[in-house]
Amino acid sequence: MKIGLLYSRIRKDEKLLLAELRDRGHEVTKIDVRKETFDLTDAPATFENLDLVVDRCLATSRSLYATQFCEAYGIPVVNSHETADICADKVKTSLTLAGAGIPTPATKVAFTTKSAMEAIESFGYPCVLKPVVGSWGRLMAKIDSKSAAEAILEHKATLGHYEHKVFYVQEFVDKPGRDIRVLALDGEPVAAMARHDDHWLTNAAKGAETTTFELDSEAESLVEQASDAVGGGLLGVDLMETDSGYTVHEVNHTVEFKALNEAVDLDVPASVVDWLESTVGMEVMA
């Protein structure tokens, strides 16, 4: 296949994918989206004759627009713009998961510091305040007291950017020192790891320890449901364990898998390329 890989930064994840694709003889065109201009109807020259585009843009805005352009040009793209649009925004993700009946942390959204404080007080302490866009645990706040809430809200008001005016407040889930990352291909779990940390944030990007994790049928079912709800594709579904079962708190549409690849015996990039070849490739041939 002729595969375009959209990027603005090549991480280890992209290097693993590139190596696997090239080893199998696929013709790979790396497309640095910073260098492109996107016409409304005519695809840039770098997109010519591509069978498939794989979106690995690190910047969410670039990912969202670039996937939309690919679809406008009639080029299959992984993941779809619909999936990216839902997963890139925590509000849209939460609404989608809740709408599909998938357990997800209780969440409230407010647009002013006054109403945000009301949302925080309704949860009590601790609770969590998150930016609606972003990853790697950045700007996530666990709020332990009213005075901490007041300080954080004042800071966000002072920071000024409009995204700081959308307050995404969530119940604090007292997970057992770990959460679970599942890599799924159209809802089918490929590999899973637990991310352990004494810190309340258990992101691998923040240095959490990772170990392989065996999914039970409940978790597998939730991963499939979450994937279906957001439109499927190559996804990282994050689960937390609670007293009443799992809760799905995040679905990542440009999933990083280098930590997972090291935590499990499976060759993760090989599985991803298997899927690209079998599922997406067959669609292209049809």
Partner 1 sequence: MAECVECGADVPLHNDLESGEIIDCATCGVELEVIDVNPPVLDRAPELEEDWGE
Stretch that binds partner 1, among 11-19, 38-46, 170-178, 271-279 (CB under 8 A): 11-19
Tell me if 155 contacts partner 1 by CB under 8 A. no
Phi, psi (deg, nearest 5) at residue 138: -70, 140
Task: Please name the residues in contact with 200: beta carbons below 8 A apart, sequence gap of 6 or more.
Answer: 142, 172
Stretch that binds partner 1, among 1-9, 119-127, 185-193, 271-279 (CB under 8 A): 1-9
In the complex, the smallest distance separating the C-beta of residue 10 from partner 1, rounded to whole angstroms, is 4
Tell me if 136 contacts partner 1 by CB under 8 A. yes
Helix (H) or strand (E) holding 13: helix 12-23
- Interaction residues for partner 1, span 194-223 (CB under 8 A): 205
Strand, helix or coil for residue 47: helix
**Among 24, 29, 32, 100, which residue sits at the site for partner 1 (rule: CB under 8 A)?**
32
Residue closer to partner 1, measured from CB, 117 or 206: 206
- Could you write out the DSSP letters of every residue in 116-162? HHHHHHHH-SSEEEE-SS--TTTT-EEE-SHHHHHHHHHHHHHH--G
| Residue keyed to tokens 């619909």 | 82
Tell me if 163 contacts partner 1 by CB under 8 A. yes
Tell me if 100 contacts partner 1 by CB under 8 A. no
Tell me if 161 contacts partner 1 by CB under 8 A. yes
Stretch that binds partner 1, among 7-15, 76-84, 97-105, 239-247 (CB under 8 A): 7-15
Q: What is the rounded CA–CA span in Å between residue 24 and residue 270?
A: 10
Q: How many CB atoms lie within 10 A of CB 208?
A: 22
Helix (H) or strand (E) holding 286: none
Phi, psi (deg, nearest 5) at residue 33: -65, -15
Tell me if 30 contacts partner 1 by CB under 8 A. yes
Tell me if 36 contacts partner 1 by CB under 8 A. no
Exposed, middle or buried: residue 86 (CB in 10 Å: 0-12, 13-18, 19+)? buried
**Among 36, 38, 43, 59, which residue sits at the site for partner 1 (rule: CB under 8 A)?**
59
Tell me if 92 contacts partner 1 by CB under 8 A. no
Residue closer to partner 1, measured from CB, 80 or 254: 254
Residue closer to partner 1, measured from CB, 32 or 277: 32
Label residue 76 left, alpha or beta by phi (over 0 means left) and psi (-120 to 50 means alpha). Answer: beta
> Which residues are near partner 1 by CB under 8 A?
7-11, 14-15, 18-19, 30, 32, 58-61, 133-136, 138, 161, 163, 205, 236, 252, 254-256
